[in-house]
Structure 1
Amino acid sequence: MPWLLSSQVEHRSSSSQSQRHCERTSFSFYCAVREQLPVWLLEDLRGMEVFSWEDGRPRAFLPSEALLYALVHDHRAYACFLLGRFSVSALRPPRCGFCHLRSGAPHLAVAVRYDRVAILGMVLEALKDCPVQDFLDNRGGCAHAADAGKTAVELAVELSRPDCLLLLLAHGAPPGGLDAALQRLVSCDAADRRRAQRCVNFLLLFLPDPPALCRLQAEAHRWQSMLGNEVFSWLCGLAPPPLLLQALRCLARSGPDQITALPDFLQLHSRQ
């Protein structure tokens, strides 16, 4: 750019070099987490050698960014350390690279997308003394986010992540998305059907009242065979909830482990 002064050229060149250095250190750190290096070494790297580029200058790599890396690569020990050491601040959303806003609950979305059930449990446990509903109700932050417009529950239904869904519901997430779960159940292939069925079952356990779903009565025979007569009748408002459903609801509210430990013949789909 010939119209720039030499000092400006030097400044831009220096900024470009600094930015590239930040990108290299961030990528090296990403690889270190991927290789499951020890927690103490990762924290030494994050605290002294890893930088991010923001607002035209380098800054320290945040615990919340490190936690996203730990989620992607299922580094449970590092996730446990970050949540134990930094608590809710480890869940602070990083700024979007496009609009520079901080919004959404990216850690919940990443945990669901990668099916990181163990770390999701740690995250929800860290939120127990905070306004957890703000995280659970959040719809993915700004429009540039990968899962913008979706709650963690909706994403779990869309991707058929039953274990993540049960954890979210047991910690107070609204049991929305039954219609989408039913749609997923009839559209998925045979390999995914069991997981989609479990998502439907878990939503049923936490629904306070059956929603009005016109599609059920319009295709009654089809849905009776998929849901069972008792659940179908309850969803259509023709009968009270089945006794098994009521018993499982009490069990589900005492903790997700109580439901997942049940034998297969006590699951809702066993009554079909």
Structure 2
Amino acid sequence: MPWLLSSQLDYLSSSPSQRECERTAFSFYCSVREQLPVWLLEDMRSMEVFCWEDGHPRAFLPSEALLYALVHDHRDYARYLLDRFSLSVLKAPRCSFCCCRGSGAPHLNMAVRYGRVEILAMMVESLKDTGGEYLDSCGGCGHTADAGKTAVQLAVELSRPDCLLLLLARGARAHGLDAALQRLASCDESERRHAQRCLDFLLLFLPETPLLRHLQDEPQRWQSLLGKEVFMWLCGLAPPPLLLQALRCLARCGPDRISMLPDFLQPHSWQ
């Protein structure tokens, strides 16, 4: 599978039936990559594509098809799967290498890793009423590259501000502030704007005021990165900037409105 670690590609099939399952799965993968029509992909998935599990072939699951749609940004197919199968399509598929039952939210993590903002928006929209537990869950299988990370943590790590705002606006827990600060301090100039926006969004959605006195160990460095007012606030030496307070209130009342603000009122403008 394309989302697994490269070391797993050395795994060899042990039977003709298993090799045939892999052949059909790869053919389906290529068909999604070629952006074939939704009706054709669903015909393939339901009638022609199989996976090998517990010594027997089984039908290819919608949740596995959604992972392919994410990899290749097939938005129409992703929308169909989410509309047709609802939350069940977001259940983690079983890992074919360690045979454990999947857990966590691999589809959210996959959308963040590949920067599939539109498909991520579809998924979080489907979670708004009954699927909140997916937003803060971690990948459970150690064979996956993002094991143990939530989608929010991954968005911070990869500096994906658009993905991060979508997750936070739908109720994902705002955590990873220290990681966001370190990312801002260590990234190169070309990535700094995105890293800064990730930090800004976390500050907007934090449930309580942070207290990071260790920033005073390198005051000049952090003031240059954060601005004096935000630096003083994070160290507990001053109240938050007025604009930041207003935006935090807006984030609590109508978080989707943050992205619609004019540029001069976007979070970066309090620096």
On whether the aligned pair clears a TM of 0.5, the verdict is: yes
Q: Classify the secondary structure of the residue corresponding to 2:22.
A: helix
Alpha-carbon deviation of 1:256?
5.2
Cα distance in structure 2, aligned partners of 1:214 and 1:18: 61
Question: Number of aligned pairs?
Answer: 257
| Aligned counterparts, 1:220-235, within 5 A | 220-235=219-234
Q: Deviations over 1:123-170 (max 9, x none)?
A: 1111122241x2122121122221111111111000001011011111
Contact 2:200 2:268 in 1 (8 A): yes
CA contact (8 A) 2:213 2:234 kept: no
Task: Give the alignment's Cα RMSD to 1 decimal.
Answer: 1.5
Unaligned runs of 5+ in 1: 1-14
**Correspondence for 1:53:** 52
- Do 1:64 and 1:90's aligned partners in 2 also have CA atoms closer than 8 Å? yes
Aligned match of 1:178: 177
Letter matched to residue 160 of structure 1: S
Cα distance per residue 1:29-51 (max 9 Å; x no partner): 00111111111111011111111
2: CA distance between counterparts of 1:49 and 1:174?
Answer: 40
- Which protein is bigger by CA-based radius of gyration? 1
Other structure's SS at 1:223 match: helix
Q: SS of 1:52's equivalent?
A: strand
Q: Which residue of 1 aligns with 2:86?
A: 87
Instruction: Using structure 2 for the length normalisation, give the TM-score.
Output: 0.90
CA contact (8 A) 1:88 1:126 kept: yes
- Uncovered stretches (5+) of structure 2, i.e. residues with no partner: 1-13
* Identity over aligned pairs, percent: 74
Superposition misfits of 4+ residues, deviation over 6 angstroms:
none
Secondary structure at 2:15 match in 1: helix
Question: Residue type of the partner of 1:106?
Answer: P
Structure 2 SS opposite 1:195 = helix
Pick which of 229-238 and 75-84 moved more.
Answer: 229-238
Checking the alignment, whether the CA contact within 8 Å between 2:241 and 2:270 is kept in structure 1 is: no
1:98-113 equivalent positions in 2, closer than 5 A: 98-101=97-100, 102-113=102-113
Summarize deviations over 1:185-211 as a string: whole Å, max 9, x none.
011111111000000000000012232
8 Å Cα contact 1:228/1:269 also seen in 2: no
Shift in Å, 1:234: 1.3
Instruction: Give the secondary structure class of the aligned counterpart of 2:233.
Output: helix
Task: Report matched runs for 1:1-272 at 5 Å.
Answer: 16-101=15-100, 102-132=102-132, 134-255=133-254, 257-272=256-271
Contact 1:104/1:139, CA 8 A, preserved across alignment: yes
**Partner secondary structure for residue 239 of structure 1:** coil
Distance 2:205 2:188 in 1: 26
